[in-house]
Every structure is written in C-alpha cells, then in structure tokens.
Amino acid sequence: MSSDSKSKSVVPAHVAIIMDGNGRWARQRGLPRIKGHEKGSESVRAIVKACRNAGVKYLTLYAFSVENWIRPKTEINALMRLLDRFLRNEEHELHENRVRLRVIGRREDLPSRLDEKLREVEARTRQYEDGNLILALSYGGRTELVKACRTIAQRVKDGELSPDEIDEDTVSANLYAPDIPDPDLLIRTSGELRVSNFLLWQISYAEFYVTDVLWPDFREPEFKEALADFSKRRRRFGDVK
C-alpha cells in the first residue's frame, strides 16, 4: 500500500444500516421493548447528523422489514407512532441541512395516514441534493426483486422489450429507487451475522461491518469507527490488484 492510500481516508458515498438490537437493549435494562425503539430513534437522529459531518451522501436505514409484520400488534403500533413522531420532530433538520427523504418498500402496507405524511415530507425535500435519507419501510429484498420481475415481464408481454435485452441495468432500473447508487458500506449492529432480506441486489459488492454494539448505543463515535474500518478495506471488485 502506498503511503498516499494509507493516509487518505476514503468516505463511502452510500452507507446502509441494519439497525438491530433495540429489544435486547431494553431487555438488558428490564424495560419494555418499545423503550429500546425509543432510544433507537435517538440513534437515528445522531447517525443522520454523523453522515453530514463525515460527508456521506446517502444513508439507507432498515427501519421495518416485510417480515416484521408478524411482531405483536402493540409493538408494530408503537413503531409506527415513533416514525410519525420522528417525521414531526426531525423535518426541520432535513430542511436546514438540505437532506432529501425517500422511502423504499411496500408502502401500501403502511397506515395510510403515515404514508401520506411520508409523501408530504418527500415532496417538500425533493429538491435537496446535499444528503439523502432513505427509509426502508415494510421492505424486503426479495419482494423488491419480485416487483421488478413483474414490471419487466409486463414490458416483454407488451412487446416493448425482448427477453435477451434484459440485463443487469434492466433489473436495477426497476428497483424502488433506481437512481440511488449501490451501498459501499453495510453496517449491522448487535452482532447478528445475517442480511435479513435487506437490499439483496444492491449489496453485491458492499463492504460488511458488524458490531456487537446494540443500535440504541450506536452513535457518532461508533459510526466513525465503522468509517475508519471501511477506509482500510481494499475493494477489488473481482480484480487482482
């Protein structure tokens, strides 16, 4: 490694995070799980700010999976309420810092009032380019790919596309947010070594970083550690250099 690449810190353009461990954080303190989610939403605020400070342009947060609907109704309701509160309290931060909000996932599953509010904030922050906060809500990587397949199949059926014209770009173009570059760094908190159906297509060459720190304890110093680790990685993309 040249001294130049040693000293130069490489900042990922896109960081995706599987925010895990809220329940365990609460259990360790003898608190109900929802207290862990509440504390976890403070980490969301801290990490959005940390991205800004570090110059990370895209942040995708796995906030609710398609599988999470099997959780107890009380927990689901509490999570939806927290999201609503987050929008209310944090929208001004998005404007102040010119951050665009986006949602990916089966948004038709969300309570319609919440989806409306999300749409409003998305519309009001549409013009911003300094940063992008992408919330994965009722999101599943397989669901996203099935949706893409259906759209592509319909185009073939309609005679707009022939099967041999379908390539990787065709699939990418039919994902929820086709204009967003693939994540460079994928972080998972709370030590689980699995992907849990997150961004299956997009993470093909993402660098993984797993920490035992639970999401409610994951703040700017822990995020900076992940960035420092990323900066030491040598991404080869299949090459031999």
Q: Does 63 bind ligand IPE (CB under 6 A)?
A: yes
Which residue, 31 or 166, has its beta carbon nearer to ligand IPE?
31
Residue 215 is classified by DSSP as G
Please list every residue from 17 through 36 that binds Mg ion, using CB under 5 A: 20
Q: Does 219 bind ligand IPE (CB under 6 A)?
A: no
Q: Which of 22, 53, 68, 109 is catalytic?
A: 68
* Catalytic residue status for 68: yes
Site string for Mg ion, 148-187 (x = CB under 5 A): ----------------------------------------
Distance, first Cα to last Cα, the chain: 11
List the one residue from 19, 175, 187, 203 that touches ligand IPE (CB under 6 A): 19
* Min separation Cβ 173 and ligand IPE, Å: 26
Residue at shortest CB range from Mg ion: 20
* Min separation Cβ 183 and ligand IPE, Å: 15
Taking CB under 6 A as the binding criterion, the range among 7-15, 21-29, 99-107, 202-210 that sits at the site for ligand IPE is 21-29
Taking CB under 6 A as the binding criterion, the range among 45-53, 141-149, 192-200, 201-209 that sits at the site for ligand IPE is 192-200
Q: Does 62 bind Mg ion (CB under 5 A)?
A: no
Residues with active-site annotation: 20, 68
